[in-house]
Structure 1
């Protein structure tokens, strides 16, 4: 059976300098192969210790049982501050709790049904934009996912001038932003520059200026009573149930920035890899296309449940190519994991990339098998070892949103288009802001 590509692992023992250089270029290929088998591994630098954990009960302690004892690491946050400021993705403690109290209601209950028409319109527009021939599919999925975010958040299609500018500037930010900067490795005082590239800072400023304009316009519409009933309006008018306060403009800009990052960048990554996997496995593509064709005849929210195999294809893409490959927490008190002392200030790394391919948890971990989720083992793994959206109180707010958007867009594209892999252009996954292909994902498209 053809095995989907993954990057080669580095040798088990290399110098600290070589590891740090490789880590800065690409997280995935800088890791040793033993992490696909180990329950825990320790990595030491002159300034801190890092512990990667794959053991499910240890992951539960960090993410579910005692999450407040393991806040998000500021080392990883340093590289994203210019764009995300104090967004819910980066904050901890009481500030994070307040932000979630305001944001979560917008994504709960019947809101997914309310956002479905905007998702559907974005997906249909994406399918109409495609053309026959060889295409770089990540660019197409980025366009589609950005369209979903703008339609659901601000009721604007991607063709809107401001939306298009944000999309273009975000692509510039992604190209300029390394995964990690100096602040991730060195104990820099707060006054010292963080080593952000000039292009990174400039792109972040432009994005935030555009988002500020959108946010101020929406606040004016809310005051005038003319605001559309979309996610931005819901979030901006929801008071904190404990204090009665709503987000100020600057706070809302931070949140919109992370909604765009999390909702556009991650969805684009997962959708592109799902299309590549289906191109690599034509029989699976035919099964998903049959579901998609039937769904396209009556594409309603209620009929999404009929996309069972398509949903499992998307789950399998999230397993093999999790958009966020690693999550980092920090210890606030002495811990003991697997009879090993873990000091205060240690970095606790939870790696969906390694957990999802762990050979002691998943049968045939490197194979593409959407049918695994219909088995007892697959159900257990889905519960214990599948973390594309994190877990516990800090689970991604938009997880439910993504699991509607992904299968929906996949179905709308498959209903009209056939995707074929190119033998001479095998994509190599690398970690930038998300797991993308080093030179893009090139597929041949033909109309069905």
Structure 2
């Protein structure tokens, strides 16, 4: 069995058909030839896009000269109602200041300190799931959101405000496409961005709830009663250059992206990982055997025993990267593989295509967690594995995710046996992240 991927469109379609497909689902809008191409150019009436699968070009853009390729505002504008000026959408000196404040919260020692909260969220997820045929994505969204609130604000998802944020975010996800119309038009700064009224209302409600949590935490910090969690660390860390901390509005922006990136992406990866394990019961049994090492009160050292679970999660990230495409914009004339790229070109780096590239990976569409322990697999990981981006703009929560994902995966498989459901094969589509068009359905049975 080969894990499912979306049907590729014909190589040639009209521009308007392509734009319609792209806005609905950027994965099935792409032709099959991109899984072998080193580079491809796409033209619209207002700009040109260059998909770069050549590892040398990926390194150039992300590692060697990132300041010359800032994030494209065409993507960022679609997320402004919720994220404001969060670190995910900013560039230049503003972004550098934000990272100087945020990065210390996600250093190795701090991640170790969040382990008990992650484990508690895993226990809650195991207790919440009942055996039977069910759509697993909502459960993974619930579990990932629980991890975020426990590690960020020391509150479980059942907390009144946390629960409201989660509910409102699900509504926002349904309303917000990955691109809005503004991404395709040459609109001047300040021009309305065609966000629906519902999108703006939901984003405002989410930000209002986050503001309440942030102000409450500021009061606790002032009183000396704040818990030592990620929110406290970020809110009390001054920029080493200016000496200033985030103000309330800046913190709201950052919490919004922590919730979006930390919850939405982890939920996507966990859902697909569980489906892959259901497809391959022999792999699932190996994870369950390894997961027996998790005691009722483990410490962070148990992660050293979950090596195969980590490789399974890594392989799920390869086949179904939660963020399928990243867009940069070149600031000066470039030459890509002998082709001139004028300033303002949209440089598209696609983990979805890079991770399945037929000229890089052996059996690119097959699920094989053991590949990560081979020399060929390690080489591909260096050259063509970017689920969290890479270089200076690598996701600050990458290490956090690589603890959370394998841990929750092992805890769930230790308790439950997962089987696929006939006639319910999921089809991946890209909205805010890579999800299944009609959900991921599994038959969940208690293992013990």
TM-score of the aligned structures, taking structure 1 as reference length:
0.99
Q: Where do residues 339-378 of structure 1 align in structure 2 (5 Å cutoff)? A: 339-378=338-377
User: How far apart, CA to CA, are the structure 1 residues paired with 2:425 and 2:396?
Assistant: 33
Query: Aligned residue for 1:120?
Result: 119
Distance 1:253 1:269, change over 3 A: same
Query: Aligned residue for 2:278?
Result: 279
User: How far apart, CA to CA, are the structure 2 residues paired with 1:237 and 1:45?
Assistant: 46
Residue 298 of structure 1 and its aligned partner are, at CA, apart by 5.6
User: Which moves more between the two structures, 186-195 or 41-50?
Assistant: 186-195
Q: Where do residues 378-389 of structure 1 align in structure 2 (5 Å cutoff)? A: 378-389=377-388
User: How far apart, CA to CA, are the structure 1 residues paired with 2:294 and 2:410?
Assistant: 8
User: How far apart, CA to CA, are the structure 1 residues paired with 2:207 and 2:55?
Assistant: 38
Indicate conservation of the 8 Å contact 2:23/2:177, yes or no.
Answer: yes
Residue 294 of structure 1 and its aligned partner are, at CA, apart by 2.3
Residue 136 of structure 1 and its aligned partner are, at CA, apart by 0.8
- For 1:363-384, what per-residue CA distance to the aligned partner results, in whole angstroms no more than 9, with x for missing partners? 0000000000111100001111
Query: Aligned residue for 1:266?
Result: 265
Q: Where do residues 163-182 of structure 1 align in structure 2 (5 Å cutoff)? A: 163-182=162-181
Query: Aligned residue for 2:136?
Result: 137
Residue 325 of structure 1 and its aligned partner are, at CA, apart by 0.1
Secondary structure at the residue paired with 1:89?
Answer: coil
Secondary structure at the residue paired with 1:443?
Answer: strand
Indicate conservation of the 8 Å contact 1:296/1:415, yes or no.
Answer: no
Query: Aligned residue for 1:240?
Result: 239
Query: Aligned residue for 1:257?
Result: 256
User: Which moves more between the two structures, 193-202 or 404-413?
Assistant: 193-202
Residue 43 of structure 1 and its aligned partner are, at CA, apart by 0.3
User: How far apart, CA to CA, are the structure 2 residues paired with 1:67 and 1:191?
Assistant: 26
User: Which moves more between the two structures, 264-273 or 287-296?
Assistant: 287-296
Indicate conservation of the 8 Å contact 1:296/1:412, yes or no.
Answer: no
User: How far apart, CA to CA, are the structure 1 residues paired with 2:84 and 2:354?
Assistant: 30
- For 1:249-269, what per-residue CA distance to the aligned partner results, in whole angstroms no more than 9, with x for missing partners? 000000000000000000000
Unaligned runs of at least 5 residues, structure 2: none
- For 1:238-290, what per-residue CA distance to the aligned partner results, in whole angstroms no more than 9, with x for missing partners? 00000000000000000000000000000000000000000000000000011
User: How far apart, CA to CA, are the structure 2 residues paired with 1:283 and 1:441?
Assistant: 20
Residue 81 of structure 1 and its aligned partner are, at CA, apart by 0.2
User: How far apart, CA to CA, are the structure 2 residues paired with 1:349 and 1:128?
Assistant: 42
Secondary structure at the residue paired with 2:127?
Answer: helix
Q: Are residues 1:434 and 2:414 paired?
A: no
Secondary structure at the residue paired with 1:52?
Answer: strand
Secondary structure at the residue paired with 1:446?
Answer: strand
User: How far apart, CA to CA, are the structure 2 residues paired with 1:191 and 1:414?
Assistant: 49
